[in-house]
Amino acid sequence: AISLPPNEKEIHFWDWHYQRGYEWYIKQFDLFRRCPQQSCSNSDPSSSKPFYGEITPCYVVLPSEKIEEISRIFPQLKLVFIARDLVDRAWSALIMELRNQTSGLTAGSFADGSGIQTCHNARDPKKTKKSVMSVAQKRRMQELSSPSSQPDSYYMERLRNATHDSRSNYAKHLRNWYEHFPPETILIVDYRDIESDPRGTLSKIVQHIGLHEEEARKYVESLDDRVLGQRVNAATSDQLRIDDSTASIKSSQPSSSDYFLSQRPNLKRRMQKYLQHHAIEFNALL
C-alpha cells in the first residue's frame, strides 16, 4: 500500500509544526485506522507492506541540522526531488507573492489559509477570518495582482530577494541533503517528465520508494488516465539537464514560462541570465 496523509497534501511538520511533537506527526499518517483499506483511494490493498510518505516542497530548504535529525529517525528514508524549470518556478513564486501582497501579506511571506509564514516560520495555529469583499473590491484586487500591473524592474528586484534567490539554488539545498543521505536514496525527477511520460515517471518513483518492479507495474496500471492527467506541464527530453544559457530545462515544446512570459520577452531574458549561475551549479551536481 502507498499511503499519503488523507487530510492534507503538505504536512509541514519539519518546518511549521515541529513544536507539536512527533506524536502529532505520526497521527497524520494514521490512515488505516481512520478508513478501511477497501475505501482508501490512495492505497493498494493487494500489497501487505504499507509505504507512508508526504509531499512538502519546502523541506528542500531545511537547515542541515534538521536534515540530520530526519536521517537519524528515518535512516531508510527515500526522497524524491522534482526539479522544475528555474524560470517557471521563479515566475510562479513571484506571481503568488504578488497575489499575496495584494491580499495584505508582507513580501517574502506566503499564505497557507491559517496565517502568514515562510518555509522557516511556524504556522499560526489560529485561523484567520476571511473578509467579505464587494464585486468592485474583488475586481480591483484582480487588477492589482495581475502580472501586467508591475514593470519588469519589480520582478527583477523581487527575484534578487534572498527568499526567491535561495529557492532557485537547487544545488545548495540538495548538498545539505546529500550530507546526510546516500545519493541512491535521493531521486531527482524532471518536473515535465510527469507530462511526457506520467506512468513511466510514477513507476520510477514508486520503485525508488520501495515497491518491486511487478508491484509498481500493477499499481501504475491500476490508475485511471484522468488521475494521471491532472496538473501537467510541457514535455522535456529524457535527460534531466537545465540549459546553462537560459536556466531552463531543454524542451521541444513551449514551457509554462514561455506561456506566461510570452508578452514580456525582455523580462524572461533577464530572469534567465540572472538564474544562469544556479543552472550551472545544479548541472554540475547531477
Strands (E), the chain: 2-3, 51-52, 79-83, 110-111, 116-117, 186-190, 242-243, 248-249
Cβ-Cβ contacts under 8 Å for 41 (sequence gap 6 or more): none
pLDDT tens figures, 192-201 = 998 899 999 9
234 touches 255 (CB < 8 A) = yes
- Asked if residue 36 has pLDDT above 70, the reply is no
Distance CA 15, CA 21 (A): 12
Beta-bridged to residue 187, according to DSSP, are 80
Cα–Cα separations (whole angstroms), residue 115 to 12, 18, 107, 236, 263:
14, 16, 14, 37, 34
To 5 degrees, how large is the angle CA 36–CA 226–CA 208? 65
Percent of residues, the chain, with pLDDT higher than 70: 70
pLDDT tens figures, 76-124 = 999 999 999 999 899 999 998 988 887 665 655 544 433 445 565 544 4
Mean pLDDT of the chain: 79
Higher-confidence residue of 13 and 37: namely 13
Distance CA 267, CA 158 (A): 13
Confidence at 246, pLDDT banded by 50, 70, 90 = low
Which pLDDT score, from 0 to 100, does residue 123 have? Answer: 47
What nine digits make up the cell of 221? 496500471
Please give the single-letter amino acid code of residue 275: L
- Asked if residue 253 has pLDDT above 70, the reply is no
Entry pTM: 0.77
